């Protein structure tokens, strides 16, 4: 077979079609096709794993599955669950299809196609196989892969179990949720109810794709969540989800009043970036705009910088030392570098809460000699230095 080095227009179109079909399948709330599922399990255990056909138990939610497994395994109900066989399943099918695709596809094609499929197993961190199966499904559709085991396995995955736990003698299959609510960007989102819920009521609250703890969601819904609660929240993603909730449910004016209760706007700095550093951002007018707010809560001075995520335009309020008098220095104060490397910074990049700093040759040498104490001995840099060094921010 000739090595595939580029994709034709039709193959590229098929890539998106395949991806969308699998995404739709992931968000499907159709219940498990029990006949197909049990036939698939029988094939998997008897033909592929050379084991006895196990008993299949269906569970209404992930929580029910965990409780059921615990009860069956640990209570004296006369059942022998046996060992988990999950790894074997993956090894048997994946190893079979691995080499074929890997050998016949140029690295670049593989990686580019992978970008479109491998993300989709991340939802809720379940062990969904949709990512890697959809990835190989695409190569099957373009004629690179023709493997009977993969076809049978794909059919089993398509039977619609949300998650499956396989043991020697038992298989526990979780039914799909009854609803998955999403926003226009496809992120799980609801300000009215759980965005993701199973038939037994177990589920999760999400706003703009970010999980909100139930107690915070309930307080927000009853308008009992106040700015003091907000400023005490220590998770920036949760704070951003709270802002998203308020914006969607009550509007910008409510949000402004919510914050104005304790904060006064002091200064704004706009970092005007070269257009090349805006690639990969939303290119929104909010990118690079930093506003310093100050106020008092319980007689304590507080200061926050409002900024926007360049990748998603989500609003963040980051705590800064109230000694700051301008937004530029305030946002720069959240960057830290080992003291011994401060004078060796070539440039800085960032992705969310993580900074990537590149040093000059001497700095690189020093970096490799620092012990833990020296790595922990960090200092900040001023706003002018910071914005003179920063490149891509996502």
Partner 1 sequence: MNINLKSITMETLKQINVAPSSTQGHFVEGAKNVVNLDEVTESFLVEGKSQLVTKNHTTLEMEHDCLVNCQVVYNPFSKMFEKSKD
By beta-carbon proximity to partner 1, the closer residue of 233 and 250 is 233
Residue 234 class from Cβ within 10 Å (0-12 exposed, 13-18 middle, 19+ buried)? exposed
Backbone φ, ψ for residue 142 (5° rounding)? -95, 10
By beta-carbon proximity to partner 1, the closer residue of 130 and 258 is 130
Cβ 272 to partner 1 shortest distance, Å: 20
Sign of CA dihedral 324, 392, 239, 259: positive
x/- letters, 155..194, toward partner 1 (CB under 8 A): -xx---x-xxxx----------------------------
CA separation for the pair 390, 310 (Å, rounded): 13
Q: Quick one: which of 14, 25, 90, 227 contacts partner 1 (CB under 8 A)?
A: 90
Single out the segment in contact with partner 1 by CB under 8 A; choices: 8-16, 71-79, 122-130, 245-253.
122-130
Positions in 319-348 near partner 1 (CB under 8 A): 319-322, 333-338, 341, 346
Q: Quick one: which of 69, 89, 212, 216 contacts partner 1 (CB under 8 A)?
A: 89
By beta-carbon proximity to partner 1, the closer residue of 82 and 322 is 322
Q: Quick one: which of 16, 376, 379, 382 contacts partner 1 (CB under 8 A)?
A: 376
By beta-carbon proximity to partner 1, the closer residue of 127 and 201 is 127
Which residues lie closer than 8 Å to 241 by C-beta, 6 or more apart? Answer: 206, 207, 208, 210, 211, 212
* Alpha carbon distances (Å) from 289 to 238, 241, 286: 21, 20, 5
Q: Quick one: which of 86, 143, 251, 388 contacts partner 1 (CB under 8 A)?
A: 86
Residue whose structure tokens are 């994709």 = 7
CA separation for the pair 14, 22 (Å, rounded): 12
x/- letters, 194..233, toward partner 1 (CB under 8 A): ---------------xxx-------------------xx-
Positions in 236-255 near partner 1 (CB under 8 A): 236-237
DSSP state of 393: E
Cβ 351 to partner 1 shortest distance, Å: 4
By beta-carbon proximity to partner 1, the closer residue of 38 and 166 is 166
By beta-carbon proximity to partner 1, the closer residue of 90 and 250 is 90
Cβ 253 to partner 1 shortest distance, Å: 26
360 touches partner 1 (CB under 8 A)? no
Positions in 6-65 near partner 1 (CB under 8 A): none
x/- letters, 277..316, toward partner 1 (CB under 8 A): ---xx---------------x--xxxx-----xxxx----
Residue 195 and residue 204 in contact, taking contact as beta carbons nearer than 8 Å: yes
Q: Which two tokens stand for residue 360?
A: 């000059």
Residue whose structure tokens are 């900040």 = 380
Positions in 255-284 near partner 1 (CB under 8 A): 280-281
* Alpha carbon distances (Å) from 241 to 236, 238, 301, 315: 9, 5, 24, 9
Cβ 66 to partner 1 shortest distance, Å: 12
What one-character-per-residue DSSP string does 147-178 give? -HHHHHHHHHHTT--SEEEEBSSEEEEEPPPS
Q: Quick one: which of 43, 48, 168, 352 contacts partner 1 (CB under 8 A)?
A: 352
What residues pair up with 167 in beta bridges, in sequence order?
A: 84
Backbone φ, ψ for residue 319 (5° rounding)? -70, 135
By beta-carbon proximity to partner 1, the closer residue of 194 and 344 is 344
Residue 267 belongs to what H/E stretch?
strand 263-270
By beta-carbon proximity to partner 1, the closer residue of 164 and 242 is 164
How many other CB atoms are found less than 10 A from the CB of residue 101? 21
By beta-carbon proximity to partner 1, the closer residue of 165 and 258 is 165
By beta-carbon proximity to partner 1, the closer residue of 14 and 370 is 370
Cβ 295 to partner 1 shortest distance, Å: 10
Residue 246 belongs to what H/E stretch?
helix 236-250
CA separation for the pair 121, 106 (Å, rounded): 23
């Amino acid at each position: 077979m000739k090595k595939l080095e580029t994709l034709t227009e039709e193959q590229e179109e098929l890539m998106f079609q395949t991806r969308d079909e699998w995404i739709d399948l992931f968000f499907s709330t159709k219940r498990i096709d029990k006949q197909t599922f049990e036939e698939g399990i029988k094939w998997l255990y008897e033909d592929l794993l050379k084991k006895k056909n196990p008993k299949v138990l269906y569970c209404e939610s992930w929580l029910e599955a965990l409780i059921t497994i615990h009860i069956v395994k640990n209570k004296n109900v006369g059942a022998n669950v046996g060992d988990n066989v999950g790894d074997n399943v993956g090894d048997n099918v994946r190893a079979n299809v691995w080499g074929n695709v890997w050998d016949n596809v140029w690295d670049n094609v593989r990686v580019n196609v992978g970008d479109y499929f491998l993300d989709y197993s991340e939802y809720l961190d379940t062990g969904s196989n949709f990512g890697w199966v959809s990835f190989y499904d695409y190569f099957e559709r373009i004629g690179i892969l023709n493997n009977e085991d993969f076809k049978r396995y794909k059919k089993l995955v398509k039977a619609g179990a949300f998650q499956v736990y396989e043991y020697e003698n038992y298989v526990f299959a979780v039914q799909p949720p009854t609803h998955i609510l999403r926003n226009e960007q496809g992120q799980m989102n609801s300000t009215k109810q759980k965005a993701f819920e199973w038939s037994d009521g177990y589920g999760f609250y999400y706003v703009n794709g970010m999980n909100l703890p139930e107690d915070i969601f309930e307080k927000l819904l009853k308008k009992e969540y106040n700015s003091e609660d907000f400023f005490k929240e220590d998770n920036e993603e949760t704070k951003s989800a709270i802002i998203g909730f308020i914006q969607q449910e009550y509007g910008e004016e409510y949000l402004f009043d919510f914050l104005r209760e304790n904060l006064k706007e002091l200064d704004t700095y706009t970092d005007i970036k070269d257009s090349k550093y805006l690639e990969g951002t939303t290119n929104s007018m909010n990118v690079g705009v930093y506003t310093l707010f100050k106020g008092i809560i319980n007689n304590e001075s507080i200061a926050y910088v409002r900024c926007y995520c360049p990748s998603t335009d989500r609003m963040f309020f980051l705590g800064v030392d109230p000694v700051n008098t301008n937004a530029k220095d305030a946002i720069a104060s959240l960057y830290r570098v080992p003291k011994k490397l401060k004078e060796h910074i070539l440039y800085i990049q960032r992705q969310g809460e993580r900074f990537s700093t590149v040093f000059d040759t001497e700095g690189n040498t020093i970096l490799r000699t620092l012990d833990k104490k020296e790595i922990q001995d960090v200092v900040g840099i001023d706003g002018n230095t910071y914005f003179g060094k920063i490149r891509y921010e996502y």
